[in-house]
Amino acid sequence: MTDPLLSWPAPTRSQNRSPIEPRFAEGTAWIDGRIVPVAEATLPLLDWGFLRSDACQETISAWDGLLFRLDDHLDRFWRSLERLRMTSPLSRAEIHKAVHALIATAGFDNAYVQIIMTRGRPPIGSRDIRLCTQRFQAFCIPYVWIATPEVQQRGLHLHVGSRHRVPANSVDPMVKHYHWLDFELGLLEAFDHGAETVVLTDGQGHVLEGPGFNIFIRRGETLLTPRSGMLDGMTRRTVMELCAELGITVEATDVPVAALLEADEIFLTTTAGGVLPVTSVGTRAIRNGPGPFTARIHAAYWQRRADGWLGEPVDYVVPAPSASE
């Protein structure tokens, strides 16, 4: 039997939009209320978002001129702010408009937008976190893939990292944060072993998540995905909703590392690519190419996005503040 191939719906809207100005061709950034070229984006050195990794973010994608689940992303962004006891200097409506303005200014149909809130800084010499004023920043670049379509056709090589994910009782995994040193060092370990990405565990032998993705495994006719200790990814949520429509059973549960090696299929879910197949874990081959469940869910995900499901058209005429204002 030939392994299924992954495919993506052909874009139907204009792919020939021009940036408002040539200097925005590589992307845009929202810095203190102004839109500047992404290469000119800066952050004050003393901001605790940099010095303490005291920040949260949401990554939002647009495909074919449609923003996906923007309201859901904003809901989760506000949840992160509340859990970090941050106050946004912009209203939700203003951030919503900023997302559109960033894409419109760059002229992208397929975009990757990250909205960021940093703690700011207290007065010099003080460490009283209550004296900080939060800062909103954002950037927009062309759509990002964790793995290229070519790599996805044969499947990713996954490594199970030897280090553990930051424990939930130390850093809340339901906050989309930048505590990624465990991921970064795990990636280096994966590369050393000839793999392309890494998944980390909880220290008790259970799989949690990887850098920017959640994980699903197929055991028989059921999909398993970790139930706690990781971010509730937006693509993970989308896949679970699609599976309910497709009649595929999904169980959120503890997933032992051993289950990866015994899986019939494995796939990752991420804003940066959707549904990504895994075909080996360490030295163990899982499949030669995407499996039937992976291919079916992948196709449903991209088709539903092409149909406009949970999509919001980018406002390409939204007024955009510029660096000269």
pLDDT, tens digit (0-9, with 9 covering 90-100), for 263-318: 999 999 999 999 999 999 999 999 888 999 999 999 999 999 999 999 999 999 86
The band of 11, judged by pLDDT with boundaries at 50, 70 and 90, is low
| Rounded-to-integer distance, Cα 100 and Cα 313, Å | 9
pLDDT over 70 for what percent of the chain? Answer: 94
The band of 324, judged by pLDDT with boundaries at 50, 70 and 90, is very low
pLDDT score, position 13: 58
Same domain, residue pair 50 and 90: yes
User: Does a structural domain hold residue 17?
Assistant: no
Q: How far is CA 60 from CA 116, 141, 215, 261, 295, in A?
A: 11, 11, 19, 32, 23
- Quick one: CA dihedral 91, 93, 96, 98, positive or negative? negative
Q: How far is CA 282 from CA 157, 162, 238, 270, in A?
A: 7, 12, 28, 21
pLDDT score, position 289: 82
**Domains: count for the chain:** 2
| Residue at which a domain ends, from 86, 119, 143 | 143
- Kindly give, in sequence order, each residue whose CB lies less than 8 Å from that of residue 170, ignoring residues fewer than 6 positions away: none
pLDDT over 90 for what percent of the chain? Answer: 87
| Rounded-to-integer distance, Cα 195 and Cα 268, Å | 15
User: Does a structural domain hold residue 10?
Assistant: no
pLDDT score, position 287: 84
Q: What is the pLDDT of residues 265-275, one digit of tens each?
A: 999 999 999 99
Residue 248 has pLDDT above 70, yes or no: yes
| Rounded-to-integer distance, Cα 20 and Cα 22, Å | 7
**Three-state DSSP class for residue 21:** coil
User: Does a structural domain hold residue 221?
Assistant: yes
Residue 272 is part of a domain; what is its CATH number? 3.20.10.10
Q: Using DSSP, how many helices (H) and how many strands (E) does the chain show?
A: 8, 16
Identify the domain containing residue 78 by its residue range.
22-143
- Kindly give, in sequence order, each residue whose CB lies less than 8 Å from that of residue 65, ignoring residues fewer than 6 positions away: 13, 14, 109, 313, 314, 316
- Quick one: CA dihedral 37, 38, 44, 49, positive or negative? positive
Q: Count of alpha carbons within 13 Å of 156, Cβ hemisphere only? A: 27
Mean pLDDT, residues 17-39: 93
| Residue at which a domain ends, from 115, 143, 171 | 143
Same domain, residue pair 191 and 135: no
User: Does a structural domain hold residue 34?
Assistant: yes
Q: What is the pTM of this model?
A: 0.93
**What does pLDDT average to over the chain?**
93
- Residue 101's Cα: distance from chain center in Å? 20
Residue 41 has pLDDT above 90, yes or no: yes
Same domain, residue pair 160 and 223: yes
- Residue 235's Cα: distance from chain center in Å? 8
Q: Which backbone phi and psi does 122 adopt, to 5 degrees?
A: -80, 175
User: Does a structural domain hold residue 295?
Assistant: no
The band of 14, judged by pLDDT with boundaries at 50, 70 and 90, is low
Mean pLDDT, residues 51-58: 96
Q: What is the pLDDT of residues 77-113, one digit of tens each?
A: 999 999 999 999 999 999 999 999 999 999 999 999 9
Task: Select from 56, 95, 69 the least CA-distant residue to 274.
Answer: 69
pLDDT score, position 323: 52
- Kindly give, in sequence order, each residue whose CB lies less than 8 Å from that of residue 192, ignoring residues fewer than 6 positions away: none
| Residue at which a domain ends, from 143, 172, 205 | 143
User: Does a structural domain hold residue 9?
Assistant: no
pLDDT score, position 217: 97
Same domain, residue pair 191 and 121: no
Same domain, residue pair 55 and 137: yes
Residue 299: both structure tokens together: 């196709």
pLDDT score, position 3: 62
User: Does a structural domain hold residue 26?
Assistant: yes
User: Does a structural domain hold residue 300?
Assistant: no
Same domain, residue pair 112 and 215: no
Same domain, residue pair 165 and 66: no
Same domain, residue pair 122 and 232: no
Specify the DSSP element, H or E, that contains 208. strand 207-209
Q: What is the pLDDT of residues 168-219, one digit of tens each?
A: 999 999 999 999 999 999 999 999 999 999 999 999 999 999 999 999 999 9
